[in-house]
């Protein structure tokens, strides 16, 4: 994810690795710069990941939040983005039909790369 606004270009601020398992798209890795957190960037990124899951013909998007000393700023990210916690686990799931859409002011391109 690259972000720029009227103040300048922040460059590359986020990267995600998605894995497809049947009709589920799993967020294996989600990295984002703290420089852009709290400005709607994280919700927009999840919305773009949802678009990727749709393009991969998935019905569900799933991720895990593993607490570390440095990621407390996003401990509620999945909840804010309409994911539902899988009971008594660190896993979160979302039905694609209930997914967020990027705000109209966000112009972000989705680039998928297949890895083998």
Residue 45: CATH number of its domain:
3.40.630.30
Question: Is the confidence at residue 6, as pLDDT, over 90?
Answer: no
Q: Report the C-alpha dihedral over residues 81, 73, 24, 56, rounded to 10 degrees.
A: 80
Taking only the tens place, the pLDDT of each residue in 35-94 is 888 777 888 888 889 988 998 999 999 999 999 998 888 899 999 889 999 998 999 999
In a domain, 116, yes or no: no
The H or E element spanning position 19 is strand 14-21
- Domain range for 18 is 2-98
The pLDDT confidence band at residue 106, using thresholds 50, 70 and 90, is: low
Res. 20: pLDDT tops 90: yes
Query: What pLDDT score does 116 carry?
Result: 39
Q: With respect to residue 76, please indicate whether it lies within any of the assigned structural domains.
A: yes
105 burial level (CB within 10 Å; 0-12, 13-18, 19+): exposed
Task: State the pLDDT at residue 102.
Answer: 64
Could you tell me if residue 109 is inside a domain? no
- The tokens for 39 are 């400005």
Look at residue 111 and tell me whether its pLDDT is greater than 80: no
Question: Number of structural domains, the chain?
Answer: 1
């Amino acid at each position: 994810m690259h972000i720029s606004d009227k103040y300048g270009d922040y460059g590359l601020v986020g990267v995600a690795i998605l894995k497809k398992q049947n009709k589920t798209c799993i967020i294996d890795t989600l990295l984002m710069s703290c420089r852009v957190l709290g400005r709607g960037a994280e919700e927009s990124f999840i919305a773009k990941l949802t678009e990727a899951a749709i393009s991969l013909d998935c019905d569900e998007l799933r991720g895990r939040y593993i607490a570390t000393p440095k990621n407390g700023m996003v401990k509620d990210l999945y909840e804010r983005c309409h994911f539902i916690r899988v009971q008594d686990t660190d896993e979160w799931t979302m039905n694609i039909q209930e997914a967020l859409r990027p705000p109209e002011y966000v112009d972000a391109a989705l680039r998928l790369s297949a890895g083998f």
